[in-house]
Amino acid sequence: MEKVKSLIKIKPKKYKDGEVVKVSFMVMHPMETGMRKDKKTGKIVPAEYINSVKFDYNGQVITTMNVWESLSANPVFTIYMKINGAGKLTVSFTDNTGAVNETSTKIKPKG
């Protein structure tokens, strides 16, 4: 399966241990509702939407999401997260067609 393009952004870029930072997860996904007609063929475009997202920080699941087709195409999910040591944040996500993907970013608190 082709890797889905996705990105994790942390704000601010520099942060300390214990700080609460903004984490945005962005992913290229059509989020097809299964109700839209293709303008050219007139056929219904099959449903294809992300249905779950999970944020794992150093082995601890800090947030999970159930997602439905009403989110915009190429969705963005922004949450907060308390920095609690260096390591890795992994976001994994699935869609209704069975695709499974994940992306990670390093967590490097300063001071």
Q: Which residues bind other proteins (CB under 8 A)?
A: 5-7, 9, 11, 20, 24, 26-28, 30-31, 33-37, 44, 47, 54, 56-57, 59-82, 84, 92, 96, 102
Instruction: List Cα–Cα distances, 99 to 6, 36, 56, 84, 90, in angstroms.
Output: 14, 21, 19, 31, 17
Estimate to the nearest angstrom the gap between the alpha carbon of 27 and the chain centroid: 6
CA pair distance 9, 13, nearest whole angstrom = 8
Shortest Cβ 99–other proteins spacing (Å): 15
Nearer to other proteins, 97 or 111 (CB): 97
Shortest Cβ 39–other proteins spacing (Å): 11
Nearer to other proteins, 62 or 99 (CB): 62
Nearest to 33, CA basis, from 65, 70, 66, 76: 70
Place of tokens 């999910």: 77
Shortest Cβ 44–other proteins spacing (Å): 7
Nearer to other proteins, 68 or 108 (CB): 68
Contact yes or no for 17/83 (Cβ under 8 A): yes
Shortest Cβ 107–other proteins spacing (Å): 12
Nearer to other proteins, 104 or 108 (CB): 104
